[in-house]
């Protein structure tokens, strides 16, 4: 997809069919881009998010006068790679899914966030999906719950490992214990130095 009108058409169809859409775009100057996972009713659709939503189906309004859309193969390649990787993560359920990843090529800066759907989205089907998804465990909730379960499993395994099933304990060596006990009763050299002369005299008298 390389234009606003086509994106809006696909967006409307996906909202209507409750079809997940993974989209990407590169800016006009080709030094920033984004990838976005759109799950109808659960994440912002193409129409939900500003600034595109404020433009009412008129592509001319979002194209600046005299600006020719640049094409930088490296930015395109990086963006395509990230989109393919993110799609694999979603399909094969590994790692953290990037719901909306933006890339600034000038600074090599990435920003990763999730945009919630707009309850006042101009796409009626988007609003309908939002109402439906509020009542069920959708894709996002399922992924979050899966992550929670995995975390709990990991913690459980850690506990088992720490306690160990054979009840083996690490005990202190008896000689070591004895030495420590003796050490407690002995006055260290440092403590001796700090004793006042009077204290020492009193101790001598008591002998
Ligand atoms: Zn929407």
Enter the tokens of residue 97.
């899914």
* 191 and 92 co-located in one domain: no
Other Cβ atoms less than 10 A from the Cβ of 52: the count is 15
Residue 164 located in a structural domain: no
Q: How far, in Å, from the CA of 103 to the mean position of ligand 1?
A: 23
Q: Is the pLDDT of residue 134 over 50?
A: yes
Length of the chain measured in residues: 207
Residue 129 lies in a domain: yes
Q: What share of the chain is helix, strand, coil (3-state, %, to 5)?
A: 50, 10, 40
Q: Classify residue 163: in a domain, yes or no.
A: no
Please indicate, yes or no, if residue 143 is contained in any of the structural domains. Answer: no
C-alpha span between 95 and 80 (Å, rounded): 18
Is 111 in the same domain as 15? Answer: yes
In this prediction, residue 154 carries a pLDDT of 86
Q: Ligand 1 is a single-atom ion; what residues have CB below 5 A from it?
A: 45, 47-48, 121, 123, 126
Are residue 32 and residue 131 in the same domain, yes or no? yes
The domain tally of the chain equals 2
Using 50, 70 and 90 to split pLDDT, how confident is the model at 30? confident
Residue 99's CB is within 10 A of a number of other CB atoms, namely 22
CA 16 to centroid of ligand 1, rounded, Å: 11
Tens digit of each residue's pLDDT (9 = 90 or more) over 78-116: 999 999 999 999 999 899 999 999 999 999 999 999 999
Q: Which of 136, 166, 192 is the last residue of a domain?
A: 136
**Domain membership flag for residue 98:** yes
Q: What gap in Å lies between CA 12 and CA 17, rounded to an integer?
A: 9
pLDDT value at residue 54? 42
The two three-digit tokens of residue 76, written as one number? 């395109």
Distance 60 CA to ligand 1 centre (A): 21
Known active-site residue 45: no
Asked if residues 23 and 3 have their Cβ atoms less than 8 Å apart, the reply is no
Model's pTM, two decimal places? Answer: 0.67
- Flag whether 152 is in a domain: no
The parent domain of residue 60 ranges over 4-136
């Amino acid at each position: 997809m390389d234009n606003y009108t086509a994106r809006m058409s696909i967006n409307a169809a996906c909202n209507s069919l409750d079809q997940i859409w993974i989209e990407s775009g590169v800016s006009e100057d080709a030094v920033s881009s984004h990838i976005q996972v759109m799950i109808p009713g659960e994440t912002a659709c193409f129409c939900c998010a500003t600034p595109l939503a404020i433009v009412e189906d008129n592509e001319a309004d979002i194209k600046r006068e005299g600006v020719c859309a640049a094409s930088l193969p490296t930015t395109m390649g990086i963006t395509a790679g990230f989109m393919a990787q993110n799609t694999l993560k979603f399909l094969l359920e590994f790692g953290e899914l990037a719901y909306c990843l933006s890339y600034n090529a000038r600074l090599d800066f990435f920003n990763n966030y999730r945009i919630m759907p707009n309850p006042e989205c101009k796409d009626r089907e988007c609003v309908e999906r939002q109402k439906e998804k509020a009542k069920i465990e959708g894709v996002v909730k399922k992924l979050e719950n899966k992550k929670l379960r995995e975390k709990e499993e990991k913690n459980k395994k850690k506990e088992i490992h720490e306690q160990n099933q054979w009840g083996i304990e690490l005990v202190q060596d008896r000689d070591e214990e004895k030495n420590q006990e003796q050490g407690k009763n002995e006055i260290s050299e440092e403590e001796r130095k700090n004793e006042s002369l009077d204290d020492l005299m009193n101790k001598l008298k008591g002998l």
